[in-house]
Amino acid sequence: MKPRLVVLTGAGISAESGLRTFRDSDGLWEGYNVYEVASPQGWQKDPQLVLDFYNQRRRDVKAAMPNAAHLGLAALQEQFDVEIITQNIDDLHERAGSKKVLHLHGEIFSMRSVLDEHRKYRIISDINIGDKAADGGQLRPDIVWFGEAVPKIEEAAAVVMTADVFAVIGTSLVVYPAAGLVDYLPEGTLAFVIDRKLPQMPQMSNLMKIEKPATEGIADMIKALEGLI
pTM: 0.93
Listed by start position, the domains of the chain span 1-19+67-105+150-228, 20-63+110-143
Query: How sure is the predictor about 54, in pLDDT bands with cuts at 50, 70 and 90?
Result: very high
Three-class DSSP category at 194: strand
81 among the known binding-site residues? Answer: no
Residues identified as active-site: 105
Q: What is the pLDDT of residue 175?
A: 77
Are 5 and 84 in contact by the 8 Å Cβ rule? The answer is no
Give the DSSP letter of residue 212.
Answer: S
pLDDT in tens, 9-45: 999 999 999 997 655 545 556 678 888 999 999 999 9
Q: What is the pLDDT of residue 3?
A: 94
How far is residue 191's CA from residue 170's CA, in Å, rounded to a whole number?
Answer: 14
Chain center to CA of 5? 16
Do 20-63+110-143 and 1-19+67-105+150-228 have the same topology in CATH? no
How far is residue 4's CA from residue 142's CA, in Å, rounded to a whole number?
Answer: 29
Strands 106-113 and 120-122: antiparallel
Q: In terms of CATH architecture, what is 1-19+67-105+150-228?
A: 3-Layer(aba) Sandwich (3.40)
CA angle (227 as vertex; 224, 228 as ends), nearest 5: 100
Q: Residue 132: phi, psi to the nearest 5?
A: -115, 150
CATH class for the domain made up of 20-63+110-143: alpha beta
95 among the known binding-site residues? Answer: no
pLDDT in tens, 70-91: 999 999 999 999 999 999 999 9
89 among the known binding-site residues? Answer: yes
